[in-house]
Structure 1
Amino acid sequence: MSIQSALIGFLISQTLRTSLTPQEIVVVQTTAVATGTMPLAAGFVGILPALALLSEEKDGTPPIHLSWLAAVGWSCSIAYFGVFLSPPIRKQVIIEEELPFPSGTATAQLINVLHELPPPDTTIRRRRGYQEVDTEADDREDEVAEVPVRADEHDEGEREVLEHGWHSLVWSFIVSAFVSLSAYFFPVLFAIPIFGGYLAKQWLWYFTPSLSYIGQGIIMGFPTTVSMNLGMVVGWAVLSPLSKYSGWAPGPVGDMSNGARGWILWTSLGIMCADSLVSLLPVVAEYAVDLVNTQRRIYLGANVDDRTEDKETETEERLVPVSWVISGLLASIIIGTILVWVVFGNEGIKPWATVLGFILGGLLSIIGVRALGETDLSPVSALGKVSQLFFAWVQPGNVVANIIAGGVTEAGALQAGDLMQDLKTGHLCHASPRAQFYGQMIGSSVSILVTATAFTLYNRAYEIPGPSFPAPTAYVWLSLARLLRDGHLPEKSAVFMAAFAGVFAVLAMVKVYAVRRELWFAKWIPSGVAFAIGFLNTPSFSIARLVGGVMEYIYRTRYAKDRQDIRLIVIASGFVLGEGVISIVGLALQLFGVGVASCWGCGHGLCGGGCPAAT
């Protein structure tokens, strides 16, 4: 949400007549992203629901449901590790290697557009003037040094940006909120059986016209949404009926244990792992080559430190001190290990295994950040699977330990990657890395309480995983943990896993080659991760996002004035925010026992908790 956070921060600051500099907007959006990262980093949408799905009969341990206090403790255990990883990784991937980080660069471009400034210079060697910051100036002058000042003639343009921006954002917010609230009282609005009642009830083919999903599709872009829908067609229109009629998945189609949805999950997992791992191979190879070359230069007497220092564009007082990084990493590992032990107990995971999880997370985060910097796709799902494979060997037979340790590893990689995009934005806009570090710490701290509280309230109002919140990644975590424990796969699923993994390994190699050579067709090669997500989610999720992707393509090719036209992004942000805010209202209504107004049309039983079996 970097772009949306920067946009809304700018609009609010202009409305309050406290014009913030580009550097201050960077700190605002950095804090917002750090706050929003916690639900994913702490596994509230995957790991914790997976622990709630445990079965004493299958796994030897009853389901684990965390109380509010335990959720706070778990969040604290992983909240800061990725933050302290960020400063040293920043120097390598942003200063040394100059990786593009497309989303971070796009956010910097948006901030400059909003402030009527020229696009940021994305090459480090032409930004040497930043080293000449006057260290004797006060903090405010230091913050804005070397940044072009807006001329008076830009005031009218800025007012136009503000007026049109607010107009588009407010109306899209209102429309999305109205649609979402209407769907609460009339659930069939988000479960429209456009393909007929039989396909909706028996095969889960229905349409959810969520403006939030459409907004996400706009932000994701047309190629990604096409990949997702190709996966949806293959998974739900081909493999799902094939597995059902062949007797490989005899249960109800939506059942994750013995139904078609659980069966195609394994093919999805094979695609994700193959695509992500193949995409990572060039990154790992380059890292190994760079490491060997660095060691050789050291052996031959070359001064590597001077070369690195010469590329740094910030003064010492604006950087995060090395002593902070070292002490912070040690403290976060020690305190995190103790908190994990307190929350889950010695039977859940051994303390030494948690320490290994943090160490592995630090190593994998370097790989994940570099992949994100080059492709704008974070392979944290594959990194999580790598950690599960590792802990299946370290603590064999322990499903709980496998999930928790994998979660610790994934949290560091995910958090470091998300925050690195913001550091790239700050680098291009000349924001202080230390100020961004403060923002990351504040955002992560606030999010601990917000996320734990929200998760607890949603668990009281809804079944998670359940019809309203299916949490598909929870089944991925649990299924892989069980597979690594007993090696049992659903009938014939291994054949399809291997076949699809092979196909997408080849496609990933072609895509990596095309991207590095900047060939025009690179973006049209299907993304394996997006294709696999089309398997994980029911068709309603993918179709709505395709609508957004088509809107983005049409607008960009026919109506956008130039590449800096942000009108559609503003509308998409309003769509996402409107449904997100109104969902809190829906949560309150659910907690206070306010039911739906009508269950008409919900005979297919797919209308969520309000009308689970209405006729």
Structure 2
Amino acid sequence: MREEEENLKGEEAFKNTYVPKWTNQITVRSVATSFVLSIVFNFIVCKLNFTTGIIPSLNVAAGLLGFAVIKAYTALLNKCGLLKQPFTRQENTVIQTCIVASSGIAFSSGTGSYLLAMSPYISSQVSEGNIPVNTKILSLGWMIGFLFVVSFVGLFSIMPLRKLMVLKYKLTYPSGTATALLLNSLHTPKGAKLAKKQVAILFKSFCGSFSFGFFQWFFNGGDGCGFSSFPTFGLQAFKQKFYFDFSCTYVGVGMICPYIINISLLLGSIISWGIMWPLIERKKGVWYSADLRPTSLSGIQGYRVFGAIAMMLGDGLYHCLSMLLQVAYNLKLQYTKKNQMSPSVNPEGEYQITDVDYDEARRTEYFLRDQIPNWVACAGYVVLAIISIVTVSHIFPPVKWYHVLVAYLIAPVLAFCNAYGCGLTDWSLASNYGKIAIIIFSSWVGLPNGGLIAGLASCGVMMSIVATASDLMQDFKTGYLTLASPRSMFLSQVIGTAMGCVMSPLIFWFFYKAYTIGDPLGSYPAPYALVYRGIALLGAKGFSSLPKHCLTLAIILFCTSVLINIIHDLLVRYETKYKIHRFIPNPMALAIPFYIGGYFAIDMCIGSLILFIWEKKNKQKAKDFAPALASGLICGDSLWSVPAAILSLAGAQSPICMKFLSAAVNTKVDTFLAGGE
């Protein structure tokens, strides 16, 4: 009987399992667990924002960690006879939703991009437009207030379309579906056995990663010291930022990201730091002044930043237009296609089930329960939009009320397109819509009137709506597959968003006070901050802000980015035998190293190599345990940054400086020291 139960699949495995009411799916323990894990995941996302800006999907990791934590202390409570309510997959879904919503705010909050780009420190790295009206001193008060008034609007913008997206169009939402399959598996007897092994792997890798971070700290006693400055491939390669920096975080991220993303990052590093920048640096004193600061956008830094911007804009515009056309085409097909296997709508507007299997019938039945009236969503959007219009224009004087109004009139359409596209491809284009908003609004306001601040603030408004809308629909899909109530999904999303609006600025402030965030040569360069300010400057001032021949290079890179995407899509559509499209690089990934170098790409490629060897040796074990191993590496290394920052704030200095010198320099140092004695 036990073996038969383990072999059941889908909803058959839960046929005799009680599904709690939506009010019992959100419990005190689920909210408390979500709060603790949200802190962990906010630290992870913040650290990733401040280093390279690459954020992998953390849905599966959130679901697995939520299961592990709850199971750990409910087992203890059960032994003490204090456990009153069993732990269900619906409660697990609520925890995962809260965590992802909170950590999603850490990304869309702009603490590593558009908000940081407003700061005087980042603006000082840009020689033009650096006037008081185009800068804003960062403070916790207005940052938390801004996030509260813009982050909830997106939840109401897409909510009325949940049945359309999930039931009628049957969009897959790959991350949401993968998370649901994991949660369903964990709550079966067979899945629980596997989960114990996964949790053990996660715990071991977490402890190892955290301990290694602690070990490295002892050798970081100065600038350019420690394992993070290890010249793996020689000192000349190190100067061009080619080295392995022993980051467990990015080894773990490399195990999660697709192979082609990691290879694209490495290829972008070789093209830029290995070929392009050394050639341009030979023109120093000819194309640009030799007396400029290394961080000036009028020098070599300008080619790096605007080259990356050109490729990102080319990739972003192509995907936005492609997604709009794809959405329109799919909607037309859905309208004309008669599918008797899907829910239909009767004259009263209620969904009916026709000729569906047991799984779909059961899931649809629970998804249609506890509905949230559409008038609530519409009223919520209007009320929150009005509050946001007033508040945002007060926080950022260059942004007028009609600017925000225009953004909120356009945003629901873009939110729908992004949520629909994310359902098809698992690709959120929120940051791309944000970049387009920067150019439009900074150009509209103009440089002398605070166009940089207006563009960056408008980016925050647009990005928050579009990102939260797609995240919510992902979670509705997860809830549909785990029988979690739409009300509990929406409420847990609201709770997670509220957590993120407070946690994200607080954690940012913690890093901001302990380190120099945004220093191109420091531990936390926050590359997107300068990139976003560069985009705003480009929109407000035009091409006159670019160094000599930088516009030509930018046009070439922009067109290259579009061409790569066209080739990839044509191969996907027409070439099926050899699947060559798998080897076409990703333009966005190619562009990221243009500014910060290739050291993190090497870390991520090592993660890919570990996964590749593991899959060759035992593909099933790699599939089962690689996400747990990667999650532990990321969590352990990221959480070490907390005690490291505390030590830095307390003035504690690492006792050893491990630095590498060439033989010639070392001889000079020895001679100098000998002479000094």
TM exceeding 0.5: yes
1:480-526 deviation per Cα after TM superposition (whole angstroms, max 9, x unaligned): 11112222222222222222322332221232344456943333221
Aligned-pair distance for 1:159?
5.2
Residue 534, structure 1, aligned to residue 534, structure 2 = no
Residue 472 (structure 2) aligns with: 419
Deviates more, 1:32-41 or 1:428-437: 428-437
Give the number of aligned pairs: 558
- 1:15 aligned partner, one-letter code: A
Question: 1:243, 1:249 within 8 Å by CA — same for their partners in 2?
Answer: no
Question: 1:214, 1:545 within 8 Å by CA — same for their partners in 2?
Answer: yes
Residue 287 (structure 1) aligns with: 327
Residue 384 (structure 1) aligns with: 434
SS at match of 2:525: coil
CA–CA separation in structure 2 for the residues paired with 1:170 and 1:601:
32
SS at match of 2:590: helix
Residue 192 (structure 1) aligns with: 230
Aligned-pair distance for 1:80?
0.6
Residue 20 (structure 2) aligns with: none
1:126-151 deviation per Cα after TM superposition (whole angstroms, max 9, x unaligned): xxxxxxxxxxxxxxxxxxxxxxxxxx
Residue 10 (structure 2) aligns with: none
SS at match of 1:181: helix
Which residues of 2 match residues 197-236 of structure 1 at below 5 A? 197-200=235-238, 202-236=239-273
Question: 1:239, 1:264 within 8 Å by CA — same for their partners in 2?
Answer: no
1:533-575 deviation per Cα after TM superposition (whole angstroms, max 9, x unaligned): 2324321111111111222222234322278x32111010001
Deviates more, 1:10-19 or 1:30-39: 10-19
Deviates more, 1:63-72 or 1:86-95: 86-95
> Given the alignment, which residue of 102, 110, 123 partners 1:43?
110
CA RMSD of aligned residues (A): 2.9
Inter-CA distance 66–420: structure 2 relative to 1 (3 Å threshold) = same
Aligned-pair distance for 1:158?
4.6
Residue 105, structure 1, aligned to residue 177, structure 2 = yes
Residue 60 (structure 1) aligns with: 131
CA–CA separation in structure 1 for the residues paired with 2:202 and 2:610:
17
CA–CA separation in structure 2 for the residues paired with 1:5 and 1:38:
15
Residue 268 (structure 1) aligns with: 308
Inter-CA distance 426–486: structure 2 relative to 1 (3 Å threshold) = same
Residue 368, structure 1, aligned to residue 368, structure 2 = no
Question: 1:99, 1:374 within 8 Å by CA — same for their partners in 2?
Answer: yes
**TM score, norm. by length of structure 1:** 0.84
CA–CA separation in structure 2 for the residues paired with 1:293 and 1:205:
48
Inter-CA distance 289–485: structure 2 relative to 1 (3 Å threshold) = same
Inter-CA distance 522–256: structure 2 relative to 1 (3 Å threshold) = farther
Residue 456 (structure 1) aligns with: 509
Deviates more, 1:531-540 or 1:467-476: 531-540
1:385-432 deviation per Cα after TM superposition (whole angstroms, max 9, x unaligned): 221232134323311111111221112112222333222222222221
Residue 15, structure 1, aligned to residue 82, structure 2 = no
Which residues of 2 match residues 443-522 of structure 1 at below 5 A? 443-466=496-519, 467-487=522-542, 488=544, 489-515=546-572, 519=576, 520-522=579-581
Residue 178 (structure 1) aligns with: 211
Aligned-pair distance for 1:465?
0.8
Inter-CA distance 289–198: structure 2 relative to 1 (3 Å threshold) = closer
Question: 1:209, 1:544 within 8 Å by CA — same for their partners in 2?
Answer: yes
Runs of 5+ consecutive residues of structure 1 not aligned to the other structure: 117-153, 605-614
CA–CA separation in structure 1 for the residues paired with 2:596 and 2:128:
27
SS at match of 1:373: helix
Question: 2:157, 2:378 within 8 Å by CA — same for their partners in 1?
Answer: no
Runs of 5+ consecutive residues of structure 2 not aligned to the other structure: 1-57, 76-85, 221-225, 338-343, 354-363, 663-672
CA–CA separation in structure 2 for the residues paired with 1:28 and 1:366:
25
> Given the alignment, which residue of 649, 652, 655 partners 1:597?
655
- 2:217 aligned partner, one-letter code: Y
- 2:404 aligned partner, one-letter code: T
CA–CA separation in structure 2 for the residues paired with 1:226 and 1:253:
32
1:63-88 deviation per Cα after TM superposition (whole angstroms, max 9, x unaligned): 32222212211221222112223423
CA–CA separation in structure 2 for the residues paired with 1:112 and 1:295:
32
Which residues of 2 match residues 12-411 of structure 1 at below 5 A? 12-17=69-74, 20-52=87-119, 53-55=122-124, 58-61=129-132, 63-116=135-188, 154=189, 157-158=190-191, 160-187=193-220, 188-200=226-238, 202-247=239-284, 248=287, 255=295, 257-289=297-329, 309-310=351-352, 314=366, 316-344=368-396, 346=397, 348-397=398-447, 398-411=451-464
Deviates more, 1:496-505 or 1:579-588: 496-505
CA–CA separation in structure 2 for the residues paired with 1:414 and 1:159:
33
- 1:237 aligned partner, one-letter code: G
Residue 669 (structure 2) aligns with: none
CA–CA separation in structure 1 for the residues paired with 2:553 and 2:481:
45
CA–CA separation in structure 2 for the residues paired with 1:601 and 1:305:
75
Inter-CA distance 595–552: structure 2 relative to 1 (3 Å threshold) = same
CA–CA separation in structure 1 for the residues paired with 2:288 and 2:165:
46
Residue 583 (structure 1) aligns with: 641
Residue 546 (structure 1) aligns with: 605
Deviates more, 1:250-259 or 1:575-584: 250-259
Question: 2:254, 2:604 within 8 Å by CA — same for their partners in 1?
Answer: yes
Aligned-pair distance for 1:328?
1.7
Aligned-pair distance for 1:463?
1.2
Deviates more, 1:242-251 or 1:369-378: 242-251
Identity %: 25
SS at match of 1:567: helix
Inter-CA distance 67–503: structure 2 relative to 1 (3 Å threshold) = closer
CA–CA separation in structure 2 for the residues paired with 1:342 and 1:573:
41
Deviates more, 1:370-379 or 1:210-219: 370-379
Inter-CA distance 396–163: structure 2 relative to 1 (3 Å threshold) = same
Aligned-pair distance for 1:294?
8.9
Inter-CA distance 357–54: structure 2 relative to 1 (3 Å threshold) = farther
Question: 2:327, 2:420 within 8 Å by CA — same for their partners in 1?
Answer: no
CA–CA separation in structure 2 for the residues paired with 1:228 and 1:93:
33
CA–CA separation in structure 2 for the residues paired with 1:356 and 1:588:
43
SS at match of 2:132: coil
- 2:377 aligned partner, one-letter code: V
Higher Rg: 2
1:8-54 deviation per Cα after TM superposition (whole angstroms, max 9, x unaligned): 11112222236522222111100000111112111111012100123
CA–CA separation in structure 2 for the residues paired with 1:408 and 1:449:
17
CA–CA separation in structure 1 for the residues paired with 2:207 and 2:481:
34
CA–CA separation in structure 1 for the residues paired with 2:625 and 2:187:
15
Residue 21 (structure 2) aligns with: none
- 2:631 aligned partner, one-letter code: S
- 1:337 aligned partner, one-letter code: I
Deviates more, 1:535-544 or 1:273-282: 273-282
Question: 2:115, 2:456 within 8 Å by CA — same for their partners in 1?
Answer: no
Question: 2:404, 2:458 within 8 Å by CA — same for their partners in 1?
Answer: yes
